[in-house]
Chains A and B, each alone.
Chain A
């Protein structure tokens, strides 16, 4: 498409023929999706279109009934969230999945704590707390995220700061693919701006970024491509430009575009 030369020949993420049923409801129907390095892909659609189901399958929360998910050209069986994380897929959930009772560093490292010795099972290792604290400071600096106090619990932070922690958790670990579900939905203007800048920074670092958003202005601004879903199917793909905005909207709501 219109993206620059990729870091590797295979796309960062390729979903083929993804199908998922919840009882009688066909939530995903033969969905194909490709996300490339260094591009922002917007995933659009009305409520219930299947966007969240799709990203839940990609991030290992749900399992596909049929279909393949490939990371860097290799098929990965997304049997659990940890498999997805190990494959380099990080997800910022709409509810952020933060631990309000823990501080920013602990949230950043949740589920991948730095600990020794390596021969013990992961859960029984001794945490390297100083190391994690230093490392989280570095990673937050690199993403230009400033928090008032990394040692205060996330529950005491403002909405924008919480969002920043959640995004940083996904972005801070050189991941290949970052998925964001409604990253700006609960944010004010300035806080949205910071998150959008963060997304663009991820793109320039070569990440494949998939963004679910209802905010068309944000989609227009940051997305290189937009894929529209309706009733569990991909119904269209466009390069978002001011002149096809109305066509995108009509694809989303299901009118004849």
Chain B
């Protein structure tokens, strides 16, 4: 891999260049030195270790994508059905909900938080939508009500977290997990409510026949969400602040970043995306049911962590949420195709979560080791 080579070269030689560079103000010569500077003899074992640690870090970073790739290859070989377009459409449509929830969860986890309420919020949102539609309102109002319900639950999470001065969002989102599910059951009387507007049905249930009959519309919705959130996180100031709050909450406050508003906003976004996921789910099944999204929060959290975002906050991007969601989707789909029993799927996904969290911890340790080695080399 040429990337490892290039990365290490940069890191390795940089400390050597530093003392000299302090006197030379020309960045061009410094850059040239970085590439050509010969490695001093006595430090070669340290340099080697630095190189190994750097390579391991890169491997950890690419790990989830590699594993997903291997999974897809293996399953394509084991099952003749897996790589068909029809099955691919299935995977896409099953994964869209997890992935949308995971993108919302990513925003929360970036700020060192967790949102346990998204599965219940999805159900409440779907039930509210079905009720509104059932009482004779149109598609636009139904969609707005679904999104609004999600955002409202998210706002409760964020506001109580910040103004209730809670040390951690675990408890408040656990409470809204229970409250939202209870409301959904109460409003619906415990029964699914049949019927959803056409627009919801076409987003969640139909395929993009104009392009390819197997390609579900929800994939486009997911792609849209992914692109918007990516742009928001990488190009908009607020996105930068989300990373800052996750990286150093207290430091963010001392630098004048509106920490409370940032925290509240990520829970509102997560709730809003639960509303979007509700549209997909209830569109696919043409109903709003209080049992929707049962344990979906666990899939969403698992997806973010499996995909390689840091559970400790501040590190991760939309790609991580997507890779993680597809890994879960592919594992489920593949094991179904191979007739592996459901309990084994649960165990496998659990094991994958443990591996993912452990590699996050390992990454942290390797990074500090990298830092120590680098200062020793300078």
Contacts and interface: CB of A to CB of B under 8 A. Distances in A.
Interface size class of A (residues with CB under 8 A): 35 or more
Interface stretch (B12-20, B141-149, B277-285, B340-348): B12-20
Contacts of A115: 236-237
A81 interface: yes
Decide if the interface of chain A is mainly helix, strand, loop or mixed: loop
Contacts of B194: none
Nearest to A142: B25
Interface stretch (A29-37, A97-105, A208-216): A97-105
Given A97-B251, A98-B248, A146-B30, A158 B375 contact: yes
Interface centre among B237, B244, B247 (most CB of A within 10 A): B237
Contacts of B19: 190
Contacts of A99: 243-244, 247-248, 251-252, 314
A219 B374 CA distance: 30
Contacts of B358: none
A111 B257 contact: yes
Interface residues of B, number: 42
Interface of A: 59, 61, 80-82, 85, 91, 93, 95-102, 106, 110-113, 115, 122-127, 129, 137, 141, 144, 146, 148-149, 152, 155-160, 190, 194
B11 interface: yes
Interface in B1-55: 10-11, 14-15, 17-19, 21-22, 25, 27, 30, 34
B246 A59 contact: no
B236 A125 contact: yes
B257 A100 contact: no
Contact of A123 (B17, B25, B258, B374): B258
A197 to B, nearest CB: 9
Interface in B231-286: 235-238, 240-241, 243-244, 246-248, 250-258, 261
Given A127-B240, A148-B14, A194-B22, A101 B315 contact: yes
B367 interface: yes
B254 A91 contact: yes
B371 interface: yes
Contacts of B79: none
B254 A110 contact: no
A100 B371 CA distance: 12
B378 interface: yes
Interface string B285-297: 0000000000000
B10 A100 contact: no
A101 B18 contact: no
B370 interface: yes
A122 B251 contact: no
Given A97-B250, A98-B251, A123-B238, A85 B256 contact: yes
B248 A158 contact: no
A207 B371 CA distance: 33
Given A101-B314, A137-B27, A146-B22, A124 B236 contact: yes
Contacts of B371: 155-158
A237 B36 CA distance: 53
Nearest to B250: A97
A129 B11 CA distance: 23
A149 B370 CA distance: 15
27 contacts: A61-B253, A81-B256, A93-B251, A97-B251, A99-B248, A99-B314, A100-B247, A100-B248, A102-B247, A106-B240, A106-B244, A110-B257, A111-B255, A115-B237, A124-B236, A124-B238, A126-B235, A126-B236, A141-B25, A146-B21, A146-B22, A148-B10, A149-B10, A152-B11, A155-B367, A156-B371, A158-B375
Nearest to A194: B22
B323 to A, nearest CB: 19
Given A110-B252, A110-B255, 18 more contacts: A81-B254, A85-B255, A85-B256, A93-B254, A96-B251, A98-B248, A99-B247, A100-B247, A110-B244, A111-B244, A112-B256, A113-B237, A123-B261, A125-B236, A127-B237, A146-B18, A148-B10, A148-B14
